[in-house]
């Protein structure tokens, strides 16, 4: 066995007799049994990430919580696993909320984010009795109050703020800067009336504030800068209203390895943040608030691989060589959307030298339908199985039916065992909601 993972990673990708194994499963057999394209998620890897969070953060700081941001990969099996591991979840839509509730996820461990929560979504959330609503706009409190009044309910709330820090990542996934559709700006005449209204509301318990500075981050600096601004807000909230915040939510964004990025352990981010908060609280005479984190990508990205069958191969002399696979931007839009870079291997030639630079494209009618640009792979032939790595986050959850492509199946693997957790869409599924009006029949 040759281990393809980095030293700091869990051993889930191995090569035996030239074949890629993933969490103990022969990937060629997975491709044969379940078909391609195929999403494969390693339970061992996901559980190890939760365990790392537990030992490096949750157990060190009693009262803290981790809410898996399920938009990264949201299926009932994943939510059942997250519940079993004792974690909370962060949902951002009625659909995710429904998925969680139908998967018997404990409602009090659900937190609801989103910049434009619909009245119907808030109704569901309040009716289910979820743990937290993270208010994102000046109008949202009144909406929540109206629903709580009608249903005689109370709900715990935080405000999401934009701390105005610049994170070093792709522009589309920066979220903590001031010019953002997310959160409330920290201008005094916006944030303080909002906080005051929540403190005095008979329908909500105001706990504190939330921020999320961006995604795929490798530096603690933006987190520390954001924490500084919210600690200042905490102090001013006490001075103005005599109210102490009891909870701070740091969001997610912890970076992962797609190619050669060096992933930081959770405590690289969380230890300095906690120390800063603890020092502030001691200095200013506050009880230490509960810290909540919302990791998404860092829980599932590296736990996933995608398997494809290679079809047509076009070598354009002096230009580039295109390998076409049976999936594409419909199952992984991240390269098309923000030039995300991936690595992979040919699963049936996993120990062959990577001697060619090729561009792996999908079968959609878009020139931008690229999965990997200038990837280094061994010489490929039609019928070979391509495995792309670190595809567990924002792949399946961003999948679309463009070109009427059925969304691939998802398989959960663990130490050589595999279970189908999402069936492949059929052609019938593609038209199951469509209607031909009588006059066209």
Stretch that binds ligand PLP, among 16-24, 56-64, 245-253, 428-436 (CB under 6 A): 245-253
Q: CB-wise, 67 or 385, nearer to ligand PLP?
A: 67
**Which residue among 75, 215, 390, 391 contacts ligand PLP (CB under 6 A)?**
215
For the CB of residue 157, give the shortest distance to ligand PLP in the complex, in Å. 15
> Which residues are CB-contacts of 386 (< 8 A; sequence separation ≥ 6)?
307, 308, 309, 310, 323, 325, 344, 345, 346, 347, 360, 377, 380
For the CB of residue 347, give the shortest distance to ligand PLP in the complex, in Å. 27
Distance CA 59, CA 57 (A): 6
**Which residue among 140, 294, 302, 384 contacts ligand PLP (CB under 6 A)?**
294
In what helix (H) or strand (E) does residue 281 lie, and over which residues does it extend? helix 266-284
**Which residue among 23, 43, 45, 90 contacts ligand PLP (CB under 6 A)?**
90
For the CB of residue 28, give the shortest distance to ligand PLP in the complex, in Å. 31
Q: CB-wise, 273 or 345, nearer to ligand PLP?
A: 273
Between the CA of residue 220 and those of 65, 78, 177, 253, 254, what are the distances in Å? 19, 28, 16, 11, 9
Q: CB-wise, 253 or 395, nearer to ligand PLP?
A: 253
Residue 148 catalytic? Answer: no
Distance CA 268, CA 293 (A): 14
Contact call for residue 296 and ligand PLP (CB under 6 A): yes
Contact call for residue 69 and ligand PLP (CB under 6 A): yes
In what helix (H) or strand (E) does residue 289 lie, and over which residues does it extend? none
Comparing CA positions, the residue from 201, 71, 210, 69 lying closest to residue 143 is 201
Tell me how crowded residue 295 is: count the other CB atoms within 10 A of its CB. 27
Contact call for residue 405 and ligand PLP (CB under 6 A): no
Stretch that binds ligand PLP, among 5-13, 68-76, 99-107, 201-209 (CB under 6 A): 68-76
Distance CA 144, CA 204 (A): 8
Tell me how crowded residue 114 is: count the other CB atoms within 10 A of its CB. 23
Contact call for residue 247 and ligand PLP (CB under 6 A): no
List the interface residues with ligand PLP, window 96-115 (CB under 6 A): 113
The catalytic site residues sit at 365
Query: Which residues form the interface with ligand PLP (CB under 6 A)?
Result: 69, 71-72, 90, 113, 212, 215, 251-254, 294-298
């Amino acid at each position: 066995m040759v281990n393809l993972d980095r030293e700091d990673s869990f051993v889930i990708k191995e090569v035996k007799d030239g074949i890629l194994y993933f969490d103990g499963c022969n990937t060629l057999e997975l491709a044969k049994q379940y078909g391609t394209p195929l999403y494969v998620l390693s339970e061992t890897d996901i559980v190890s990430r939760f365990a790392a969070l537990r030992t490096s953060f949750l157990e060190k700081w009693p009262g803290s919580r981790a809410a898996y941001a399920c938009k990264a990969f949201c299926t009932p099996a994943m939510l059942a696993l997250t519940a079993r591991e004792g974690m909370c979840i962060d949902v951002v839509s009625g659909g995710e909320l429904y998925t969680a509730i139908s998967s018997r996820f404990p409602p009090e461990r659900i937190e609801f984010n989103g910049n434009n929560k619909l009245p119907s979504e808030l109704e569901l959330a309040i009716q289910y009795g979820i743990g937290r609503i993270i208010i994102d706009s000046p109008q949202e409190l009144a909406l929540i109050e109206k629903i709580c009044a009608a249903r005689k309910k109370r709900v715990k709330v935080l405000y999401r703020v934009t701390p105005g820090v610049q994170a070093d990542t792709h522009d589309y996934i920066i979220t903590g800067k001031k010019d953002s559709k997310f959160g409330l700006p920290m201008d005094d005449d916006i944030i303080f009336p909002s906080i005051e209204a929540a403190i005095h509301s008979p329908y909500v318990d105001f706990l504190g504030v939330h921020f999320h500075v961006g995604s795929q981050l490798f530096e603690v600096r933006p987190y520390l800068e954001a924490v500084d601004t919210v600690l200042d807000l905490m102090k001013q909230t006490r001075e103005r209203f005599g109210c102490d915040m009891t909870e701070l939510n740091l969001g997610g964004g912890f970076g992962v390895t797609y190619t050669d990025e060096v992933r930081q352990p959770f405590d690289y981010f969380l230890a300095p943040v906690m120390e800063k908060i603890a020092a502030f609280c001691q200095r200013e005479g506050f009880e230490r608030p509960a810290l909540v984190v919302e990791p998404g990508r860092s829980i599932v990205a590296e736990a996933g691989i995608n398997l494809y069958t290679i079809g047509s191969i076009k070598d354009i002399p002096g230009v580039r060589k295109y390998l076409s696979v049976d999936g594409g931007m419909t199952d992984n839009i991240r390269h098309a959307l923000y030039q995300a870079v991936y690595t992979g291997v040919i699963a049936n030639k996993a120990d062959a030298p990577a001697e060619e630079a090729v561009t792996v494209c999908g079968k959609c009618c878009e020139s931008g339908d690229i999965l990997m640009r200038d990837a280094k792979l061994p010489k490929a032939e039609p019928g070979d199985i391509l495995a792309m790595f670190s595809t567990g986050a924002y792949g399946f959850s961003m999948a679309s039916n463009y070109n009427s492509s059925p969304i691939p199946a998802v398989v959960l693997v663990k130490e050589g065992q595999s279970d189908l957790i999402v069936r492949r869409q059929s052609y019938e599924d593609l038209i199951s909601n469509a209607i031909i009006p009588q006059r066209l029949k």
